[in-house]
Amino acid sequence: MNKFFSLSLLLSASIVTHVHAQRKTIEQRVDSVMKLMTLTEKIGQLNQYSGREVTGPASDRKNYLLNDIKNGMVGSMLNVKGVKDTREIQAIALQSRLKIPLLFSLDVIHGYKTVFPIPLAESASWDLSIIRRTAEVAAEESAASGIHWTFAPMVDIARDPRWGRVMEGAGEDTYLGSQIAKARVLGFQGDKLGGVDRIMACAKHFAAYGSSMAGRDYNPVDISKQQLHEIYLPPFKAAADAGVATFMNSFNTLNGIPATGNAYLQRDILKKQWNYQGFVVSDWASIKEMTPWGFAKNLNEAAEKAIIAGSDMDMESEAYKKELEKLVASGKVDVKYIDEAVKRILYKKFELGLFDNPYKFSDEKREKKVMNDPKYKDVARAAAQGSIVLLKNNNAILPLNKSLKNIALIGPLVNAKRDQAGSWVVYADTTNIVSVYEGVKQKVKNAKLNYTEGTSITDTVTSGFANAVNAAKNADAVVMVLGENWDMSGEAKSRTDISLPGKQEELFKAVKATGKPVIVVLMAGRPLVFDSISAQADAIVYAWFLGDQGGNAIADVLFGDYNPSGKLPISFPRNVGQIPIFYNFYNTGRPVTKPTDIRYKSAYIDAPNDPQYAFGHGLSYTTFTYSDLKLSNTNPQKNETVKVSFTLTNTGKVAGEEVAQLYIQDTFASVVRPVKELKGFEKVKLKPGESKQITFELSPEKLSFYHEEKGWITEAGEFKVMVGTASNDIKLKSSFELK
């Protein structure tokens, strides 16, 4: 053993010992507090209230909340923010008999003061370092505002763009979603909890919420155990492995059992199999909602089922507060469940350092200094640039020349600010947001911008069409900015029709009829369906909702100061009838091999099977070539890792970034396998003419699949290896035979 190796072994052994010792010390401190607690006080720790009212004008609700806080009947508050308010409320909690500090929590989803792209957009960057960075900034700002805990990241895999919450996750793929889950957890929390500029993260919604039937929010989920383990659980496992402090359960049922009352999910999988040490918070009133579901007769039964199933903290049902004591007295709930939940919560309060200093996060000077720090603008701009996906660029119409004299900017979102922030930003200052109009104006100061809305987002008014057509006729370049408004995606924002709302598609057709080339920028919180634009637009820039720096980032792309590098993290359907649509489908016994021959094949008679834009698709202003694929072993053992190497070259004229993607297919197995599964990706920046050798590792774990009886297994046989620029654009192929 060489010196370095033995030293690093020694070091890592001492880190492990240190972590163990630290854990033991915290456990002892938790136990010493537990010994002082009455059952009522323990139950108080499991209670979480939402309460902006708590700092508002006098009201019954305010009195009620303050009273419970003072009496030690609240473990956590959500929706109280800012140093002044959190200090004031913490001081009241410290008047309680045991002076246990409160946890302040908030939905810090894509930024706190500085607004970053919505999570789905940011996932299109496939850039784990910027994703981690934006979570860090969100943590820095919110921690400086007295917040200890965010309800993010949402790690639900979503394959249905009708579901409004698709905007809040990382899209359709489990592997990409798992990497992003880890990056976000590490961003919010840092490598270790307790830093004054980091907050606890929360992996939500456990589990399978993204599979709500028919894309309707809060609907049931019915999926096989295999799908659950293979598609929906891995991002949660990745978050747990990254040390996520908390989990949130979900509103849906899973195969008939509400997630909140689901012992299989919360006890067997999370706490037993994964040995998860953090705590689980219910979703908002999800304990109480087990009654309308028809799973619990009343609040009493709901509390019983939830605590036994492993829901530790009760958000806004008051079920634990009102019912647990009675349930213990009647013998229906063993006090061990309550003790366990309390311990998990107190542990986090100690880990954050709140017992040592309950006001640790509430420092006015820091709050002033951190908020709106200009350096965060650069992070927001980089994140926004990387999130943009160039879907189409006929005849290289983009980038535009900066010497253009007359530019028509048409559409209801040209000067939009609030919309660009997307959903879940109630705490942000949206006046900071740069619109496309402002971004373009800043970029081409001497050009005449002819801006006209043409129509609104949702109205059916067409009276503005004539102006729009005129503007286009007189312009050297026509850019249309169309899409959804911010409030059409997010929680409880499912749509059955995901085409462009209002008369926007007609407006596009009228402008296109002028014969001028038309560049379309689309903003939305989900994949939209936009048939005629797909067919006729000369270029399409998918800009999601990009947050504060959206307008600047879009202008950077339009005028070539940033070479677009985003790739779709979710498939874009041709029409709603294709949903659910995703790249890792099964071949079926009757696959379509020739699009012209669909008789008695697994096909539609009125539309192709493939999406409008595939998972992984995204264009660049340069071109990339893939060559020289090599496998380290074409006949590996089951426990061996196969290395897949190839060369990527920028063959175009400008520098650019490519997301190289690795897919595999297990060709024959005891459980049918998808036609493709993403198993690796790397975002690489290359100068014109530059090449890089890229190596992906296919570990045994990546070759395994979930078998309903046997669990995770790997089977011998052929594996196809595919490397490409999109799931539907594979450039290199090979295979190996697993022994």
Query: So which residues are the catalytic ones?
Result: 283
Give the residue closest to ligand NOJ by C-beta: 151
SS3 667: coil
- Taking the complex as a whole, the smallest distance from the CB of residue 283 to ligand NOJ amounts, in Å, to 5
Identified binder of ligand NOJ from the candidate list 133, 182, 204, 503, rule CB under 6 A: 204
- Taking the complex as a whole, the smallest distance from the CB of residue 613 to ligand NOJ amounts, in Å, to 28
- Taking the complex as a whole, the smallest distance from the CB of residue 88 to ligand NOJ amounts, in Å, to 21
- Nearest C-alpha neighbor of 410 from the set 478, 476, 510, 505: 478
Kindly list the distances between the CA atom of residue 577 and the CA atoms of 120, 613, 706, in Å, as whole numbers in the listed order.
Answer: 22, 15, 29
547 in the Ramachandran plot: left (φ > 0), alpha (ψ -120 to 50) or beta?
left
- Taking the complex as a whole, the smallest distance from the CB of residue 287 to ligand NOJ amounts, in Å, to 13
Q: Are strands 656-666 and 717-726 parallel, antiparallel or unpaired?
A: antiparallel
**According to the binding rule CB under 6 A, does residue 107 interact with ligand NOJ?**
yes
How many chain residues touch ligand NOJ (CB under 6 A)?
A: 6
How far apart, in whole angstroms, are the C-alpha atoms of residue 431 and residue 654?
A: 35
Report cis status (omega within 30 of 0) of the bond before 399.
yes
Identified binder of ligand NOJ from the candidate list 284, 355, 361, 624, rule CB under 6 A: 284
- Taking the complex as a whole, the smallest distance from the CB of residue 106 to ligand NOJ amounts, in Å, to 8
**422 vs 656, which CB is nearer to ligand NOJ?**
422
Q: Are 733 and 721 in contact (CB under 8 A)?
A: yes
User: Residue 619 has what DSSP assignment?
Assistant: B
- Cα torsion 216, 279, 322, 297 to 10°: value is 40
Helix axis angle, 319-329 to 299-309, nearest 10°:
80
Question: What kind and span of H or E run contains 662?
Answer: strand 656-666
- Taking the complex as a whole, the smallest distance from the CB of residue 107 to ligand NOJ amounts, in Å, to 5
**126 vs 151, which CB is nearer to ligand NOJ?**
151
Q: Which amino acid is at 160?
A: D
How far apart, in whole angstroms, are the C-alpha atoms of residue 230 and residue 174?
A: 8
- Nearest C-alpha neighbor of 558 from the set 382, 390, 387: 390
**27 vs 491, which CB is nearer to ligand NOJ?**
491
- Diameter over CA atoms, the chain: 80
**33 vs 306, which CB is nearer to ligand NOJ?**
306
**According to the binding rule CB under 6 A, does residue 104 interact with ligand NOJ?**
no
**426 vs 466, which CB is nearer to ligand NOJ?**
426
Encoded one letter per residue, x for contact with ligand NOJ by CB under 6 A and - for no contact, window 232-271 reads: ----------------------------------------
Site residues for ligand NOJ, 529-548, by CB under 6 A, read: none
How far apart, in whole angstroms, are the C-alpha atoms of residue 217 and residue 211?
A: 9
**259 vs 555, which CB is nearer to ligand NOJ?**
259
- Taking the complex as a whole, the smallest distance from the CB of residue 153 to ligand NOJ amounts, in Å, to 11
- Nearest C-alpha neighbor of 120 from the set 566, 433, 558, 419: 566
Encoding tokens for residue 499? Answer: 């085409």
Q: Which amino acid is at 540?
A: I
Encoding tokens for residue 164? Answer: 């409004």
**Tally of CA atoms within 13 A in the half-sphere of 612 that contains its CB:** 21
**160 vs 363, which CB is nearer to ligand NOJ?**
160
**107 vs 160, which CB is nearer to ligand NOJ?**
107
- Taking the complex as a whole, the smallest distance from the CB of residue 424 to ligand NOJ amounts, in Å, to 9
Backbone angles phi, psi at 202, to 5 degrees: -145, 115
How far apart, in whole angstroms, are the C-alpha atoms of residue 703 and residue 712?
A: 10
Site residues for ligand NOJ, 54-73, by CB under 6 A, read: none
Site residues for ligand NOJ, 480-499, by CB under 6 A, read: 491
Encoded one letter per residue, x for contact with ligand NOJ by CB under 6 A and - for no contact, window 324-343 reads: --------------------
Contacts of 255 (CB under 8 A, 6+ apart): 221, 222, 223
- Taking the complex as a whole, the smallest distance from the CB of residue 168 to ligand NOJ amounts, in Å, to 8
- Angle (nearest 5°) at CA 640 between 635 and 641: 100
CA 468 to chain centre: 36
Site residues for ligand NOJ, 134-163, by CB under 6 A, read: 151
| Helix extents (H) in 144-222 | 174-189
Site residues for ligand NOJ, 544-573, by CB under 6 A, read: none
How far apart, in whole angstroms, are the C-alpha atoms of residue 560 and residue 554?
A: 10
**107 vs 122, which CB is nearer to ligand NOJ?**
107
**According to the binding rule CB under 6 A, does residue 367 interact with ligand NOJ?**
no
**According to the binding rule CB under 6 A, does residue 314 interact with ligand NOJ?**
no
**107 vs 548, which CB is nearer to ligand NOJ?**
107
**138 vs 382, which CB is nearer to ligand NOJ?**
138
- Taking the complex as a whole, the smallest distance from the CB of residue 555 to ligand NOJ amounts, in Å, to 33
135-170 burial code (b ≥16 CB/10 A, e <16): bbbbbbbbbbbbbbbbbbbbbbbbbbbbbbbbbbbb
326-352 burial code (b ≥16 CB/10 A, e <16): ebbeeebbeeebbebbbbbbbbbbbbb
- Taking the complex as a whole, the smallest distance from the CB of residue 146 to ligand NOJ amounts, in Å, to 17
**151 vs 736, which CB is nearer to ligand NOJ?**
151
How far apart, in whole angstroms, are the C-alpha atoms of residue 340 and residue 29?
A: 15
- Taking the complex as a whole, the smallest distance from the CB of residue 250 to ligand NOJ amounts, in Å, to 7
Report cis status (omega within 30 of 0) of the bond before 153.
yes
**Cα dihedral 622, 626, 632, 636 sign:** positive
Rounded-to-5 percentages of helix, strand, coil across the chain: 35, 20, 45
Name the burial class of residue 265, with classes exposed (0-12), middle (13-18) and buried (19+) by CB atoms within 10 angstroms of its CB: buried
How far apart, in whole angstroms, are the C-alpha atoms of residue 592 and residue 615?
A: 19
**306 vs 481, which CB is nearer to ligand NOJ?**
306
**According to the binding rule CB under 6 A, does residue 283 interact with ligand NOJ?**
yes
Encoded one letter per residue, x for contact with ligand NOJ by CB under 6 A and - for no contact, window 712-731 reads: --------------------
User: Residue 228 has what DSSP assignment?
Assistant: I
Residues at the contact surface with ligand NOJ, assessed by CB under 6 A: 107, 151, 204, 283-284, 491
